[in-house]
């Protein structure tokens, strides 16, 4: 089977995508799959990696080695990629694509739309669910219909904020009532642009920064509790892993805490009661189903001291690095990394073939 691993990308999570892709290359069963890898530079250039080296992919050195231009084309008669080498084109049929593109340009439905047009089966959620999960404000609206509790929030729009920032902040705090609050760009992944505000001045500073990343920003109530995550896998009959707990050494689970600071502790299972774990797993499946997810997602919650379960967010292309929670959670349940890849590819083919 010809498997295309697609990584890199134009988002702020480019480097993490490269690390995730390198981990997949290291763990994928080379006897089952003929591996192709296309890296997308931060500028949006597509390059076929002809001598696949996970260390070069991980470090970003792949951009400096010999690589040729290649791209997925929407022409279904090709059903794959076109490689442009020395002015000549070569067509390569692809049986399945594993997009490991975190953030915008990869997790928001855009690459999924291209793969749909091309008729190529792919790992992960479809166009609409990817877009709805990427935009936290749309996620909030849909999850509200599922009955799963979530933090109180207000939505701020850049146009309104630019006209009257004081009014936007006052409206938000009338709904949220008290500080501290968290500020999150709606469509920026991995805690990029996220700030904690303790007063009106820091709220303004946080909004000013967040609007550099997005035109829509969530302002959420602060939930004091453990950060607990569940890995979900499946199409119409998904399964949920055991719940794991993040104990960041930083004030909250920032981008650096997720991917650069290995001192953050992971506890599998989470240090909460079995009853709370079961409730979190149940709610994860409810969110996954409400969002029409397929293939995989990681669903994140807060668990308070009284074991109240509050939905935080959902990630449709979770990190696949060596320290990422998604593969670790299923690994704890007895599904090795290489087996996990096999299962996700099988789900992609199942979804494509109906």
Distance of alpha carbon 151 from alpha carbon 146, whole angstroms: 14
Same domain, 193 and 329: no
Q: Which of 198, 221, 244 is the last residue of a domain?
A: 221
Residue 276 structural domain: 132-148+224-353
116 lies in some domain: yes
For the chain, give me the number of helices (H) and strands (E)? 12, 16
Same domain, 206 and 238: no
Same domain, 196 and 236: no
> Which of 128, 135, 116, 154 is CA-nearest to residue 315?
135
Same domain, 250 and 167: no
233 lies in some domain: yes
Same domain, 167 and 99: no
Contact in structure between 283 and 229 (CB atoms under 8 Å): no
Domain count, the chain: 3
Same domain, 253 and 320: yes
303 lies in some domain: yes
Supply the pLDDT for residue 211.
96
Q: Which of 81, 104, 122 is the last residue of a domain?
A: 122
193 lies in some domain: yes
Same domain, 190 and 278: no
Question: Tokens 């009338």 map to which residue?
Answer: 174
The CATH number given to whatever domain includes residue 158 is 3.30.1490.20
48 lies in some domain: yes
Same domain, 57 and 75: yes
* CA-to-CA separations, 159 to 104, 182, 207, 223, in angstroms, rounded: 21, 20, 12, 28
* CA-to-CA separations, 100 to 6, 85, 298, 320, 349, in angstroms, rounded: 6, 25, 14, 8, 17
190 lies in some domain: yes
185's tokens: 């760009």
Same domain, 206 and 287: no
Same domain, 300 and 235: yes
Distance of alpha carbon 298 from alpha carbon 18, whole angstroms: 19
pTM, entire model: 0.93
Same domain, 51 and 174: no
Supply the pLDDT for residue 261.
54
Supply the pLDDT for residue 71.
97
127 lies in some domain: no
Q: E strand or H helix at 217, and its extent?
A: strand 216-221
Supply the pLDDT for residue 143.
98
The CATH number given to whatever domain includes residue 47 is 3.40.50.20
22 lies in some domain: yes
Q: Which of 169, 204, 221 is the last residue of a domain?
A: 221
The CATH number given to whatever domain includes residue 265 is 3.30.470.20
Cβ-based neighbour number of residue 317 at 10 Å: 30
Contact in structure between 220 and 186 (CB atoms under 8 Å): no
224-238 pLDDT, tens digit each: 999 999 999 999 999
Supply the pLDDT for residue 253.
45
Q: What is the pLDDT along the chain (354 residues), one digit of tens a residue?
A: 999 999 999 998 999 999 999 999 999 999 999 999 999 999 999 999 989 999 999 999 998 877 799 999 999 999 999 999 988 999 999 999 999 999 889 999 999 999 999 999 999 999 999 999 999 999 999 999 999 999 999 999 999 999 999 999 999 999 999 999 999 999 976 567 899 999 999 999 999 999 999 999 999 999 999 999 999 999 999 999 999 999 987 665 445 554 455 667 999 999 999 999 999 999 999 999 999 999 999 999 999 999 999 999 999 999 998 889 999 999 999 999 999 999 999 999 999 998
Question: Tokens 């470090």 map to which residue?
Answer: 59
Same domain, 64 and 204: no
């Amino acid at each position: 089977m010809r498997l295309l691993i697609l990584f890199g990308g134009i988002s702020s999570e480019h480097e993490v995508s490269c690390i995730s892709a390198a981990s997949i290359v290291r763990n994928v069963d080379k006897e089952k799959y003929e591996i192709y890898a296309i890296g997308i530079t931060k500028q949006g250039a597509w390059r076929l990696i002809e001598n696949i080296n996970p260390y070069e992919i991980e470090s970003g050195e792949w951009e400096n080695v010999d690589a040729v231009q290649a791209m997925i084309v929407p022409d279904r008669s090709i059903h794959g990629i076109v490689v442009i080498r020395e002015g000549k084109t070569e067509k390569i049929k692809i049986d399945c694509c594993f997009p490991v593109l975190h953030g915008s340009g990869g997790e928001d439905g855009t690459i999924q739309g291209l793969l749909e047009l091309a008729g190529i089966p792919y790992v992960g959620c479809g166009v609409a669910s990817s877009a709805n999960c990427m935009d936290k404000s749309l996620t909030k609206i849909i999850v509200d219909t599922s009955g799963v509790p979530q933090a109180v929030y207000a939505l701020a729009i850049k146009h309104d904020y630019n006209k009257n920032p004081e009014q936007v902040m006052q409206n938000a705090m009338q709904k949220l009532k008290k500080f501290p609050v968290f500020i999150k760009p709606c469509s920026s992944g991995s805690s990029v642009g996220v700030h904690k505000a303790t007063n009106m001045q820091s709220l303004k500073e946080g909004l000013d920064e967040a609007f550099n990343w997005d035109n829509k920003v969530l302002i959420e109530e602060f939930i004091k509790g453990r950060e607990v995550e569940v890995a979900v896998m499946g199409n119409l009959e998904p399964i949920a892993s055991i719940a794991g707990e993040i104990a960041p050494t930083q004030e909250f689970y920032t981008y650096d805490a997720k991917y650069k600071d290995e001192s953050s502790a992971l506890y599998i299972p989470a240090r909460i009661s079995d009853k709370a774990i079961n409730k979190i797993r149940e709610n994860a499946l409810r969110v996954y189903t409400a969002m029409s997810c397929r293939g995989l997602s990681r669903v994140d919650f807060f668990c308070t001291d009284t074991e109240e379960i509050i939905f935080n967010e959902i990630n449709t292309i979770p990190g696949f690095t060596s320290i990422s929670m998604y593969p670790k959670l299923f690994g704890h349940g007895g599904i090795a990394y290489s087996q996990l890849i096999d299962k996700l590819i099988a789900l992609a083919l199942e979804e494509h073939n109906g």
